[in-house]
Chain A
């Protein structure tokens, strides 16, 4: 590959100046003349029939301009991805604590609160279903009249699992459980809506899928989609929690009803109570292996509690199943994943999307297997590792050139794994040191049965500066910077000459949602296609002007080069001339993901992927055996994400994901009692602070992804996926007691030590 000027280099992120000066505007920072405050009334009871809903007093309160109930929705009173089963405003039954009964718009906070307080509600409590296992039993009370509590059962069979277990020298079975997790993005969900002079309902919202949001808003307002406009300002984090529409429809309804702009921002408490969470998943995992550690069969049963509305539930459980075998050669598999409905908080997309839960189980099993067989945990993984050309149980063949084992070996090297026996495993009488590894199969992209494409527009001005209009949301992962880099590199102009226009459904094309670590790949490829006609125009013009054949010409640094020699023509000269010659300087690019055929496509949710990023994480921990506290000393992560387009951005993604993973492993859990979340603030739901951060060594291997832009892969979810697995393996190693439930708080570690009969003694 020729030398690159911008791609793969250390560059500043495109919005950085706005961010560090405070100029960047996020949804709560927007204000318009006459703007009202919007608030929502949530159900006080997680499962109840609403027998009375009287908003008359609220409506007559001074300063209150609009109070809406289910009777005030012009279009469909339902929303959600996949199945529109969630009511916007509850008509009869509230099914979880986040169901909304009414929406108000008022002159200020006090009036809005007074309106909420004046709404009279009466509830007839209904028996709640709070345990997914109970919900699955035949005869359990049904949450929905026309739906089973088991919303989906995904079955994937590969090979002959009975024969596989017959062959095994050793069979081990364990149950693993993960917890309900809060995204805790720093900016709560919010939207600002207004009706513009053309009658278009404009909604500003920090969201991940502006075009899907537009569709849902239009559906509820009963207007054509092109009469709704969704604009995405700077957005304060998302991590999947803003993929599903949140308050946009309410803001739009209120703005339309009140005839004035409305700003509706959830309080932090409301946010924790109501938006989608990470699925808590229980996985029963049975593994058969020969005595040399080579796997013969796996049997997995996963149960995910998705709350009462489907949301992304079945998709997540699909991903649990289709990643439960990890980055290993598994000849025989029987995988079942249940998506179960309850009255618990709704669960949906969150970074990792089922891969975190799946790998916790898979990687703990590998360690338990290694222990039982007396094989080194890294060695057993190498013996089973996926090489290029091998098939995984979804029927897809791995195309990555041997990068699973390369990651493992490099991580081993970097962490000093071989020498770990020489390290003090008992550095003090109350401390134990442990090492653990998590190595993953990280699918990216939407998968075979979901829409996965992006459009993008590129315009060059006559002075050579460029505007890129993208509908793909950048919520901090650096996507817009990458798109600017790709554009600048292809057109041979400085990065500073590229301006990114942020997602706006009137101005930018649909790029699909920013999820599944897909955008660098899909929008990246789209922009590479978009720049081609412009490049051609410039080079054709250059050929005309210089007489030099265009194969010998190149564009770099805003200047024309002929075989390394700088010529006197600038991009400005070429663009101006190209324009005079009616050559195209504006273009659109489109890219649709193509997935390989797999055997697994029966279920409509079968998300058999085809694109994988391999990564290995090694965790080194210290455990205080008297208190159970865990200190993560170091994380070593080696990821093969193909060409690293933006080194700082990529490093940040892994580091941030890994820290989120530490939180998930050690301190994060939503505590829910009878469908009500008890810890609803950032004081009681704990995420890592600056003093909770381990040393991290991050390294990238760059085996090329043939279809990826410059050979890049998606890696936004990689960091978090293996962290809980690696940490749990390390702690289990340190104390000699298996730990299979997240999070491993100090108290849980302590209890495990106590109940371990052998104990460690003094």
Chain B
């Protein structure tokens, strides 16, 4: 088994979920830099959540990613936990997965056979199941730098204010043109499906629209249709359904206020 930061692995070993006979530490591969190449930001898989939070370019261009990383665990978890590890662990509640999805991230997967790059939206296959083939690791995460006016929000609902797995989380990005009409909309939901989920149908409603309260309400409703939340020790499926509505509406409203404020 691969180990990066170990922040998820140890708990799973203690719970008897995994019994690795061999742990392979990736540290000799480096993969811990954030680089900018033309209009792509390339984040090495071993970049920690703390490094993301402290990165100037990420803060400027991908603020929702910083916001999400700030809510991962607590400081010591963030100092060790890596972006690649968070994705490979593939929890439906993975905080960093949502902003990466809304910012159209791709992942570079590398193995003995070579490298390939796939959209992050195709990386999550099913509950804790990813597109990684045997012998492959996540090498880098690529983020295209938004060229037009973009606003994004990340909201996480948890049972306490820190060190908590999301009950429901939401990340939304809107890219607008000069007249504030929406060109691109991305809505990602966490903890309401087997994987971190982009809700395309809801996104579709927003395209070429101006953001009004009516549209927001319709989008929130639609976002709730594509999900399949479960009841677990943290929350019931019904509560999660209701909170998707609330959080999507809230995120869109806040984005709307930011867009208006910026005018």
Among the stretches A24-32, A54-62, A238-246, A680-688, the one at the interface with B is A680-688
| A751 CA to B235 CA, complexed, in Å | 12
Within 8 A of A (CB), among B230-262: 233, 235-236, 239, 242-243, 246, 250
Chain B 47-85 interface 0/1 with A at a Cβ cutoff of 8 Å (1 = within): 000000000000000000000000000100000000000
Judged by a CB distance under 8 angstroms, whether B26 is at the interface is: no
> Cβ of B233 and Cβ of A689 under 8 Å apart?
no
Judged by a CB distance under 8 angstroms, whether B200 is at the interface is: no
> Cβ of B246 and Cβ of A269 under 8 Å apart?
no
| A737 CA to B224 CA, complexed, in Å | 27
Judged by a CB distance under 8 angstroms, whether A171 is at the interface is: no
| A678 CA to B234 CA, complexed, in Å | 11
> Cβ of B236 and Cβ of A691 under 8 Å apart?
no
Among the stretches A8-16, A494-502, A561-569, A742-750, the one at the interface with B is A742-750
Within 8 A of B (CB), among A667-718: 667, 671, 678-679, 681, 683-684, 686, 688-692
Given contacts A688-B160, A692-B161, contact A683 B236 (CB under 8 A): no
Give the Cβ gap from A181 to chain B, nearest Cβ, in Å: 15
Within 8 A of A (CB), among B1-44: 11, 14-15
> Cβ of A689 and Cβ of B242 under 8 Å apart?
no
Further pairs besides A629-B157, A667-B160: 4, Cβ < 8 Å: A627-B246, A683-B165, A688-B160, A692-B162
Judged by a CB distance under 8 angstroms, whether A424 is at the interface is: no
Smallest CB-CB separation from B246: which chain A residue?
Answer: A626
Smallest CB-CB separation from B161: which chain A residue?
Answer: A691
Judged by a CB distance under 8 angstroms, whether B118 is at the interface is: no
Given contacts A627-B157, A671-B233, A684-B233, contact A750 B162 (CB under 8 A): no
> Cβ of A686 and Cβ of B162 under 8 Å apart?
no
> Cβ of B162 and Cβ of A690 under 8 Å apart?
yes
Out of A689, A745, A746, name the residue touching B74 (CB < 8 Å). A689
Out of B15, B163, B236, B239, name the residue touching A689 (CB < 8 Å). B163
B interface list, Cβ under 8 A from A: 11, 14-15, 74, 157, 159-165, 167, 233, 235-236, 239, 242-243, 246, 250
| A120 CA to B15 CA, complexed, in Å | 21
- Counting chain A CB atoms within 10 Å of each CB, the highest count among B11, B235, B242 belongs to B242
Smallest CB-CB separation from B240: which chain A residue?
Answer: A747
Smallest CB-CB separation from A754: which chain B residue?
Answer: B242
Give the Cβ gap from B208 to chain A, nearest Cβ, in Å: 28
> Cβ of B235 and Cβ of A747 under 8 Å apart?
yes
Given contacts A678-B233, A746-B157, A746-B159, contact A686 B164 (CB under 8 A): yes
B159 contacts which chain A residues (CB < 8 A)? 667, 686, 745-746
| A340 CA to B246 CA, complexed, in Å | 42
> Cβ of B233 and Cβ of A747 under 8 Å apart?
no
A269 contacts which chain B residues (CB < 8 A)? 14
> Cβ of B162 and Cβ of A679 under 8 Å apart?
no
B250 contacts which chain A residues (CB < 8 A)? 626
| A678 CA to B239 CA, complexed, in Å | 20
| A627 CA to B240 CA, complexed, in Å | 10
Smallest CB-CB separation from B165: which chain A residue?
Answer: A683
A690 contacts which chain B residues (CB < 8 A)? 162
Minimum-distance CB pairs A-B, first 5: A691-B161, A747-B239, A691-B162, A689-B162, A626-B246
A747 contacts which chain B residues (CB < 8 A)? 167, 235-236, 239
Give the Cβ gap from A434 to chain B, nearest Cβ, in Å: 19
Given contacts A683-B11, A686-B164, contact A750 B157 (CB under 8 A): no
B14 contacts which chain A residues (CB < 8 A)? 267, 269
Out of B167, B233, B246, name the residue touching A679 (CB < 8 Å). B233
| A564 CA to B157 CA, complexed, in Å | 64
Give the Cβ gap from B191 to chain A, nearest Cβ, in Å: 13
| A150 CA to B157 CA, complexed, in Å | 42
Give the Cβ gap from B5 to chain A, nearest Cβ, in Å: 16
Given contacts A671-B233, A683-B11, A747-B235, contact A689 B160 (CB under 8 A): yes
Out of A681, A689, A745, name the residue touching B11 (CB < 8 Å). A681
A745 contacts which chain B residues (CB < 8 A)? 159
Out of A667, A683, A750, name the residue touching B242 (CB < 8 Å). A750
A-B contact pairs, 13 of them (CB 8 A): A627-B157, A629-B157, A671-B233, A681-B11, A681-B15, A683-B11, A684-B233, A686-B159, A686-B164, A689-B74, A689-B161, A690-B162, A750-B239
Smallest CB-CB separation from A681: which chain B residue?
Answer: B11
A667 contacts which chain B residues (CB < 8 A)? 159-160
Give the Cβ gap from B236 to chain A, nearest Cβ, in Å: 7
| A688 CA to B161 CA, complexed, in Å | 8
Within 8 A of B (CB), among A242-294: 267, 269
Smallest CB-CB separation from A267: which chain B residue?
Answer: B14
Out of B160, B235, B239, name the residue touching A686 (CB < 8 Å). B160
| A745 CA to B243 CA, complexed, in Å | 14
| A755 CA to B192 CA, complexed, in Å | 23
| A684 CA to B167 CA, complexed, in Å | 12
| A111 CA to B160 CA, complexed, in Å | 39
- Counting chain A CB atoms within 10 Å of each CB, the highest count among B159, B163, B164 belongs to B159
Chain A 184-215 interface 0/1 with B at a Cβ cutoff of 8 Å (1 = within): 00000000000000000000000000000000
Give the Cβ gap from A668 to chain B, nearest Cβ, in Å: 10
B243 contacts which chain A residues (CB < 8 A)? 627
| A37 CA to B14 CA, complexed, in Å | 18
| A156 CA to B109 CA, complexed, in Å | 72
Give the Cβ gap from A179 to chain B, nearest Cβ, in Å: 13
| A684 CA to B165 CA, complexed, in Å | 9
| A671 CA to B236 CA, complexed, in Å | 13
Give the Cβ gap from A672 to chain B, nearest Cβ, in Å: 11
| A746 CA to B164 CA, complexed, in Å | 14
Give the Cβ gap from A321 to chain B, nearest Cβ, in Å: 33
- Counting chain B CB atoms within 10 Å of each CB, the highest count among A678, A683, A747 belongs to A747
B167 contacts which chain A residues (CB < 8 A)? 746-747
B165 contacts which chain A residues (CB < 8 A)? 683
- Counting chain A CB atoms within 10 Å of each CB, the highest count among B15, B161, B164, B246 belongs to B161
- Counting chain B CB atoms within 10 Å of each CB, the highest count among A626, A671, A678 belongs to A626
| A692 CA to B157 CA, complexed, in Å | 14
Give the Cβ gap from A70 to chain B, nearest Cβ, in Å: 27
A688 contacts which chain B residues (CB < 8 A)? 160
